[in-house]
Amino acid sequence: MLQRNIVKRLRRLIASPDFVAFYFKEKMKSWRRKLSYKIDKNKSYYPNNVVLLPTNRCNLSCASCNIGLSHSEKKFADTFERKKEISIDEWHSIVDKISFFSPRVSISGGEPFLYPEILELVKYIKHKGLHCSLTTNATISLKKGLEELVDSGLDSLTISIDGIGETHDQIRGIKGSFDKTMSFLNKIIAYRKYQRSFHPFISINCVMSSLNQGRLEEVADFFVNYDIDSLTYSHVWFYNQEMINLHNKLCLNTPYEIKETIGGRFGTHGQKDRNLEELWAKIGLIKEKYGDLNISFFPDLKNFNELEVYYLYPGRAIRDHKKCYAPWNTIEVFPDGDVEFAGSCFHIHTGNLIEQDFDDVWNSDSFLEIRKKIKSIGAFPICARCCYIFQQL
C-alpha cells in the first residue's frame, strides 16, 4: 500500500547505502551552480538535469497536450514536430558526452516506449552510473521488457494517470487506456516485489484539470491500496492571452516573442472558468484523508487565496517564485540530437549533441544570450505558470 512518508524514506535509505554520498554530492553541485549563477556572468556550471526525448510520437491523444492534439501547425508545437529520430548508437554517444558531470537523466517524450531501443538506452545510462528516471503513459505492452526495465536499475518511473476508468480514458482520448496502464503497473509492481527490489521508485502523476476536477479523490482512494511510492496531484501549467500580451510588450520582434498559442499544456483552456471552490474542497478532502501518506500537490498552494491567484491572475507570481533558473540547471535533447534550454518555451537552437561536444553547446553564444536575457528580468510574464519557475538551482 502507499506508505507513510517516513517509512518509505527509511526503507529507501537502507536500500541505498550510497544515498548519503549521493546526497552530499548533489548538494555540492547545487552550491557550485549557485556560485556560477552569481559570478560566471552568463556561462554556467553543468546542469543538474538532462532531459532526453528519444521520440515525439505518441499513441494517445490527450486533451491537455499539443502532441496528443497534433497541433503541430502552431508555433508553440514546433518543438514537437521533429520527425527525425537518431539511432541508439547516437544516443550512446550523447550519454558518453554528458556522463562526466553526473547529471540526473530524465527520459520523456512523446511516449518513450515507442522508441524501439528505449530499454537499451536506459541500460546504457545506468551502466554509466547515472541517475535515470522515465515518464510514460504505460500503455505499450513490453512483454519481457518490463522485467528488463526493473533489472536495468532504473531509479524512478512516473506514470501519468488522470482519473479512474472512463475519466482517464476520456482525457487520454483512447478507450481502454486505463486498463492497459493498470496492466503495465500491476506487472511492474509484481516483478519488483518478486525481485525484492526498491527500484524503480514508482510515482503516479495526476494533472488536475476541469475534466477530472469533480472526481479527484477517486485517484487517491484507488491508489492508497497499491504498492506505489508516491502520488502527486499537479496543477495545470498554462498561459493565457493576457499573459501573452504582457509578454510580447517586453519581447516584440525578439526571439522570445510569442506569435500564437493554442490548447494543450500551454493554452488557455478556460482556466478562469474553473470552479475553484470545488477544487479547493477536493484538495482539502484528500489532504485530510491521506495527509500522512506520500501524496503531494504541485505546486502546493497554501490557501484559497493562492489558488485564486494561480487561476484568476496567472500573470502574478506565487510567493517568491519569480526567477527562472532553467537555463542554468536543465537542458532538453530532442529526438534529432538538437538541444534547447528546458521548458521549450522559445525555440532557440543552442546546438546539437551529435555534432558538438557538450561544453560547446552548454556555453554556446545562444545559451549565453538566453541566460543574459532571463537573468536581467528574472522571468517573463508567461513564466508564472510554468513548472520551472518553482525549481531552484
Residues in touch with ligand SF4 (CB under 6 A): 58, 60-62, 65, 67-68, 109-111, 137, 324, 326, 342-343, 345, 374, 379-380, 382-383, 386, 388-389
- Shortest CB 113 distance to ligand SF4, Å: 11
- Asked, as a colleague might, if the bond just before 200 is cis with ω within 30 of 0, I would say yes
Sequence letter at residue 231: L
- For residue 223, the tally of other CB atoms under 10 A from its CB is 22
Comparison of 111 and 169: residue with beta carbon closer to ligand SF4: 111
- Shortest CB 193 distance to ligand SF4, Å: 26
- Shortest CB 379 distance to ligand SF4, Å: 6
Radius of gyration of the chain (CA): 20
- Shortest CB 56 distance to ligand SF4, Å: 8
- For residue 43, the tally of other CB atoms under 10 A from its CB is 14
- Shortest CB 233 distance to ligand SF4, Å: 16
Comparison of 67 and 236: residue with beta carbon closer to ligand SF4: 67
Comparison of 171 and 188: residue with beta carbon closer to ligand SF4: 171
CA distance 86 to 45: 27
- DSSP code of residue 197: -
CA distance 303 to 214: 19
Whether the Cβ atoms of residue 350 and residue 370 lie closer than 8 Å to each other: yes
Q: Is 17 exposed, middle or buried (0-12, 13-18, 19+ CB in 10 A)?
A: exposed
Comparison of 46 and 256: residue with beta carbon closer to ligand SF4: 256
Closest-CA residue to 157 (of 177, 135, 137): 135
Comparison of 293 and 333: residue with beta carbon closer to ligand SF4: 333
Comparison of 110 and 200: residue with beta carbon closer to ligand SF4: 110
DSSP result, 122-179? HHHHHHTT-EEEEEE---S--TTHHHHHHHTT--EEEEE--SSTHHHHHHHTSTTHHH
Comparison of 149 and 386: residue with beta carbon closer to ligand SF4: 386
Location of C-alpha cell 535533447? 333
Whether the Cβ atoms of residue 230 and residue 243 lie closer than 8 Å to each other: no
Q: Which three cell numbers stand for residue 187?
A: 506487472
CA distance 97 to 241: 40
- 3-class DSSP state for residue 106? strand
Comparison of 164 and 293: residue with beta carbon closer to ligand SF4: 164
Comparison of 5 and 210: residue with beta carbon closer to ligand SF4: 210
- For residue 292, the tally of other CB atoms under 10 A from its CB is 11
- Shortest CB 97 distance to ligand SF4, Å: 23
- Shortest CB 60 distance to ligand SF4, Å: 4
Q: Which residue is nearest to ligand SF4 (CB)?
A: 343
Closest-CA residue to 227 (of 149, 294, 139): 294
Sequence letter at residue 7: V
